[in-house]
């Protein structure tokens, strides 16, 4: 059992941290002893029999004076830590130590220690870490990371640091990893439906943009070696076909919703649909750019939506003003409910509009989950995690973070990557999920497999790679329900031998969902050695260190 001492202002962040690192814990009770004690309130360490005490603070604490270690505090500002095979950015106050021994983490710039074993006596180990863990958690889950650090799953790394400390101290413990039973991770397939038909766009910005990209930009891409001749000819043929589409004499090549069902095979994905036509919405107090307005409404494609539903796909809301106005959010959600006949509706905001108040606004409107937190300009981990989480401002709403978006990868002005470059970046995200579990949320827009984008081959390769690496291919609703079930799991009791224990878990999600399992880290005689703690080998527990036990629902 882990005992936690933290400031009351940090309690929500503490609770959410331990929903992600799903292991037995509680706020410290004065009359109870713990195997692991986490101190994060800048106070004195209580007289505890804990075998491992981890002190997180960016400011001087009593043990620093006791060990006569000089501390150098850096007020709120970016710092990068290195260690355990990880590179971890910090966003709040942090500290380094004038410590000459081997360190667990060090500052990338100064190479001073940022975490070290402060003392080890009387059968207990004290680790001193120079940042405020739960303040970092709060920043990541509310403000998020800048694009410069998009590729770093910072919050997952914070969990790995603590997990590694416990494992390498030889202490037994159990956790429920974010891994569906029988799989390595979840690949969540989603599609924003922005332009379901080019026939809706005649002599407007969207049509002229298509012609430029299909005719001129495609030609320039071939000259630069960024596109094939086949792509160029396909796009030119589509441009020549455009008049016949407007006359109703040719098939609308942007109508690709059913094509995704063929590409994805047995998988079932989520389609986020815009509720109202011609509404750009607002960006804070100002009107959003006119081009944000959609050329269709959900009602215009009601028959296609119901066909997708009949095939097992999920329909969600691609919101306009739902992110900042609960009354408008309710109207947008109700429009989707009327068409789909479903009560539970998830949302992803159009153009990824979002702010700190959005979770509470969406929750008040009855939204089941949100999947907006991500980047327009990059792929990666805005919230620093590959897990579904509950925003600190919400009580029930869950956030399914967005990790990979097609336009972020390939658009000029964004990452503008070649297929090979994009493949390397995407594979790194997949490998992280293979190692630590969680979800890789993919957004491939409705027309991205059509001219002029023609990104269908890359999407197919991405699906094959996820399947090959052991992913459960799921839609957003299924992914969120699985994480809700994991969050509902409770440890009834954990004994000192770290054997698997029964606990209660919800089975409301239905039989389609994979199960949960316990990962049991057995007791050992390992010592805490700073040279034997690496993200690549120990952040994810191997079978030699742990036993996995299936968790029965109910």
Q: Could you identify the residue written with the tokens 């405020």?
A: 132
CA distance 456 to 206: 21
pLDDT at residue 188 in the model: 98
* Strand (E) or helix (H) holding 129: strand 124-129
pLDDT at residue 9 in the model: 93
SS3 138: helix
215 and 304 part of one domain: no
357 and 452 part of one domain: yes
Residue 369 lies in a domain: yes
17 and 71 part of one domain: yes
CA dihedral 236, 242, 243, 247 (to 10 degrees): 150
Of the candidates 75, 85, 185, the one whose C-alpha atom is nearest the C-alpha of residue 514 is 185
Residue 384 lies in a domain: yes
363 and 469 part of one domain: yes
pLDDT at residue 22 in the model: 97
Q: Tell me if the pTM is above 0.85.
A: yes
149 and 192 part of one domain: no
CA distance 372 to 359: 10
121 and 35 part of one domain: yes
pLDDT at residue 524 in the model: 64
Residue 377 lies in a domain: yes
- Domain extent, residue 103, equals 2-175
End-to-end CA distance of the chain: 23
DSSP structural state of residue 59: S
Structure tokens at 37: 């004690």
For residues 201 and 207, the answer to whether their CB atoms sit within 8 Å is yes
DSSP structural state of residue 300: G
Structure tokens at 335: 């429009």
CA distance 381 to 154: 8
242 and 326 part of one domain: no
Q: Could you identify the residue written with the tokens 């094509």?
A: 259
pLDDT at residue 510 in the model: 47
Of the candidates 312, 315, 445, 356, the one whose C-alpha atom is nearest the C-alpha of residue 143 is 356
For residues 522 and 163, the answer to whether their CB atoms sit within 8 Å is no
pLDDT at residue 508 in the model: 47
CA distance 215 to 366: 45
* Strand (E) or helix (H) holding 334: helix 326-340
For residues 271 and 339, the answer to whether their CB atoms sit within 8 Å is no
CA distance 321 to 329: 6
pLDDT at residue 374 in the model: 98
pLDDT digits (tens), the chain, 554 positions? 999 999 999 999 999 999 999 999 999 987 788 999 999 987 777 777 889 999 999 998 888 877 778 888 777 778 999 998 999 999 999 999 998 888 999 999 999 999 999 876 666 889 999 999 999 999 999 999 999 999 999 999 999 999 999 998 889 899 999 999 999 999 999 999 999 999 999 898 999 999 999 999 999 989 988 889 999 999 999 999 999 999 999 999 999 899 999 999 989 999 999 999 999 999 877 899 999 999 999 999 999 999 999 999 999 999 999 999 999 999 999 999 999 999 999 999 999 999 999 999 999 999 999 999 999 999 999 999 999 999 999 999 999 999 999 999 999 989 999 999 999 999 999 999 999 999 999 999 999 999 999 999 999 999 999 999 999 999 999 999 999 999 999 887 545 444 444 334 444 444 579 999 899 888 764 555 444 444 433 333 333 344 555 554 43
């Amino acid at each position: 059992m882990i005992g936690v001492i933290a400031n009351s202002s940090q309690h929500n962040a503490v609770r959410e941290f331990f929903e992600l690192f799903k292991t037995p814990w509680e706020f410290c009770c004065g009359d109870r002893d713990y195997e692991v004690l986490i101190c994060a309130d800048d106070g004195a360490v209580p007289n505890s029999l804990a075998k491992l005490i981890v002190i997180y603070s960016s400011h001087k604490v009593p043990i620093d004076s006791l060990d006569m270690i000089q501390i150098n505090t850096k007020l709120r500002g970016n710092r990068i830590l290195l260690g355990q095979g990880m590179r971890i950015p910090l966003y709040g106050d942090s500290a380094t130590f004038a410590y000459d021994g081997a360190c667990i983490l060090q500052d990338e710039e100064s190479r001073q220690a940022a975490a070290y074993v402060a003392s080890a006596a009387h059968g207990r180990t004290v680790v001193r870490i120079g940042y405020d863990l739960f303040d970092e958690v709060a920043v990541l889950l509310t403000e998020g990371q800048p694009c410069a650090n998009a590729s770093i799953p910072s919050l997952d790394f914070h969990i790995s640091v603590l997990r590694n400390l416990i494992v390498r101290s030889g202490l037994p413990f159990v956790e429920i990893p974010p891994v569906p039973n029988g799989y390595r991770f979840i690949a969540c397939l989603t599609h924003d439906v922005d332009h379901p038909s080019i026939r809706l766009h005649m002599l407007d910005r969207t049509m002229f943009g298509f012609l430029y990209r299909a005719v001129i930009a495609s030609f320039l891409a071939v000259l630069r070696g960024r596109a094939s001749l086949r792509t160029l000819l396909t796009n030119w043929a589509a441009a020549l076909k455009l008049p016949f589409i407007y006359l109703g004499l040719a098939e609308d090549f942007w109508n690709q919703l059913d094509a995704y069902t063929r590409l994805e095979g047995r998988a079932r994905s989520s389609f986020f649909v815009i509720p109202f036509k011609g509404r750009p919405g607002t960006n804070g107090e100002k009107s959003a750019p006119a081009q944000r307005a959609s050329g269709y409404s959900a009602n215009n494609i009601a028959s296609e939506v119901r066909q997708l539903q009949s095939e097992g796909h999920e329909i969600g809301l691609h919101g306009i003003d739902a992110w900042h106005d609960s009354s408008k959010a309710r109207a947008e959600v109700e429009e989707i409910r009327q068409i789909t006949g479903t009560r539970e509706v998830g949302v992803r905001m159009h153009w990824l509009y979002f702010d700190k108040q959005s979770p509470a606004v969406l929750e008040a409107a009855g939204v089941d989950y949100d999947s907006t937190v991500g980047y327009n300009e990059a792929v990666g981990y805005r919230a620093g995690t590959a897990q579904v989480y509950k925003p600190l401002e919400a009580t029930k709403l869950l956030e399914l973070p967005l990790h990979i978006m097609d336009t972020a990868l390939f658009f000029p002005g964004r990452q503008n990557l070649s297929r090979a470059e994009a493949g390397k970046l995407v594979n790194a995200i997949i490998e992280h999920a293979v190692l630590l579990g969680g979800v890789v949320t993919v957004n491939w827009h409705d027309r991205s497999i059509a001219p002029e984008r023609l990104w269908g081959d890359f999407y197919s390769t991405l699906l094959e790679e996820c399947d090959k690496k052991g992913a459960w291919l799921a839609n957003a609703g299924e992914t969120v329900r699985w994480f809700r079930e994991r969050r509902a799991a409770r440890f009834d009791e954990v004994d000192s031998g770290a054997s698997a224990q029964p606990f209660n878990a919800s089975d409301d999600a239905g039989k389609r969902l994979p199960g949960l399992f316990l990962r049991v880290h057995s007791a050992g005689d390992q010592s805490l050695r700073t040279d034997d703690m690496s993200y690549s080998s120990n952040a994810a527990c191997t079978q030699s260190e742990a036993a996995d036990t299936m968790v029965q629902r109910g």
